[in-house]
Amino acid sequence: ISGFPGTLPLVELHGLILSPPFTYRCWLVLWGILHTCPTQASVLLAQQLPQQLTSPGYPEPYLKGQESHTDIEAPEGFAVRLVFQDFDLEPSPDCEGDSVTISSRGADAIRLCGQQGSSLESPPGHREFVSSGRSLRLTFRAHSSSQNKVAHLHKGFLALYQAIAVSQPSGDSKAATTPGADPPRIQNLGQDSNYEAEQTGTPSCPSLGTWKDRQDGEEVPQCGPVCGRPVVPIARNPEASGSWRAELGNFPWQAFTSIHGRGGGALLGDRWILTAAHTVYPKDSVSLRKNRSVEVFLGHTDVDELLRLGSHPVRRVVVHPDYRQHEPHDFTGDIALLELQHRVTLGPSLLPVCLPDSETLYRRGLGGYVSGFGVENGWLTTQMKYSRLPVAPREACEAWLLQRQRTEVFSDSMFCAGDEVQRNSVCQGDSGSVYVVWDNRTLRWVATGIVSWGIGCGKGYGFYTKVLNYVDWIKRVMEGKD
C-alpha cells in the first residue's frame, strides 16, 4: 500500500529490478500509542565500496529485548564481505546473552558476543567474514533480563559490508577476491561505487571526475568521490598509547610529500591535496633560499613502494592569504592546497577524507588519529605509522605554553591535542598530515586538523590548524572561485 510505513517501491535500473535498502516494521496502535514490534528485518544491496551497517540505535546504547535480521545480497558473480569496525556488546558467559550471528548458505553459522574484560570499540579479532554464496545474514539479539534493571552503556556494533568479485578457476569451487591481494578485474556494478551523488536523487555518476552539465537550461547535480570510508577499518583502542604501523587501506587519504624535506597531506576529492603551508614555504631562513620542486606520492604505506609508484605532478599550489612566512612564531593560516595535474584513480588504498561541518567534532577528550611518515625515535620511518591523541582543553595548552615561556601564537584558528604526561608521537616529517576523528552522525572519518607546530617530539601537546575555520576557503579554491 503506497505510503504505508515499511514499504518502498522496487527500482528498475538498466532492466534489472533492485530492491533498495528497506526495513519491514510492524506497527500497532493501541489506545492512541504507537508501538514497534521487537523484531525487525531488512534487506541491503552490497556494492564494491564499503557501506555501513549498525545495530538499532547505534551509537546510542541499544535496548534490551529486541532482535533484528539483516540480509545482505551481492550481485551475480560477487560475494559479501563483512568487517566489524566497532563491536560493543554486553559481556556474557558462553554467549548466552546478547549476540551477533553471521550465517551464509552452505556454511556454519558464526556467533559473536561481548567478552568478559574486553575493551570497548575492539572489533572481534579483526576478522573478516565472506559469504559462501552471494548473500549473508546478520542477526542481532539483545536478550531481555529481569535481573539487569539498570541501564547499560553498550552501543552495539558498526560493520562495513561490500561486494567482492569471485572467480571460478575450475569445477564448482569459488575463490573470493579481497582487497590487498592481486585480484582479477573487479566487475562494474552499474556505476563507479567510489563516487556518490552530492544531491539526493541523482541516478548515476560518471566513472571519473566531478561533472556538471546543462540540459534544457537546468544544471545536472554534481557527483563527487565518496570520502572518509576506508576499506580496512582502523583498529580503535581508546586505552592504548604510542604509535602503530598502518595497514594498507587504513588511511587511504594519506599523502607523502617531498618539498623542503619530508611532509604529509591528505587527499580531498580526486585531485586535491590538503597540507600545511609551512611545508611549502618554511619559516626557517635556510629553506627560504632553496627553490624546490613539489612532489606528491599516494596509495601506499611503504615509502619504497610510494617511490616506485611515482609522484603525481602538481599543477598549482594555493596557500592561505593569512599565512606569514616571515613570522616564525605565528602559524596562523598554516594551510595550503595542492592541485594535481591529473585526477587520481580511486580504489581501496586511495580514497579521500571528509571535511568537518560542526564544532562538536572538536569537543575536549574526543579521540582522533594522526598518520604519517615522520621521525620516530630519532629515525626517519619507512612505514606509515599512526597514533591516537585526544583533543585537549584549550586552557591546559595555554598554561603549558606559559609555563615554558613560549612566545608562539595560539590563535582561535588552531586547536591542540595530546596529553601533558604522555609522549607526543607526532614529530618532524608529519607536518601537513591530518588529524581525523570519527563522525557518529555521518559515519565517516573527518579531517578536523592539520599537523602544524609543536615543541620537540617529547611529552606534551601538539598544535593543529583548525580545518573547520577554513572550509569555505577550501571549497572556493577547489571550485575555482579563489
DSSP codes joined into one string, 378-425: TEE-SB-EEEEEEBPPHHHHHHHHHHTT------TTEEEEEEEEEE--
3-state secondary structure of 368: strand
Burial class (CB in 10 A: 0-12, 13-18, 19+), 274: buried
Measure the CA–CA gap between 377 and 425, rounded to whole angstroms. Answer: 9
In the block, which residue shows the cell 561533472?
A: 211
Q: Which of 260, 278, 300, 312 is catalytic?
A: 278
Residue 400 CA to its chain's centroid (Å): 31
Q: Which of 431, 433, 439, 452 is catalytic?
A: 431
278 catalytic? Reply is yes
**Number of other residues whose CB lies within 10 A of the CB of residue 275:** 31
Contact 338, 273 (CB under 8 A): yes
Contact 277, 336 (CB under 8 A): yes
Pairing of the two strands 39-45 and 66-73 = parallel
* Helix and strand element counts for the chain (H, E): 5, 34
In the block, which residue shows the cell 540540459?
A: 215
In the block, which residue shows the cell 567482492?
A: 164
Q: Where are the alpha helices (DSSP H) in 73-226?
A: none
Measure the CA–CA gap between 54 and 438, rounded to whole angstroms. Answer: 15
Instruction: Tell me how long the chain is.
Output: 482
35 catalytic? Reply is no
Q: Which of 86, 88, 270, 334 is catalytic?
A: 334
Measure the CA–CA gap between 279 and 295, rounded to whole angstroms. Answer: 11
**Number of other residues whose CB lies within 10 A of the CB of residue 121:** 18
Active site residues: 278, 334, 431
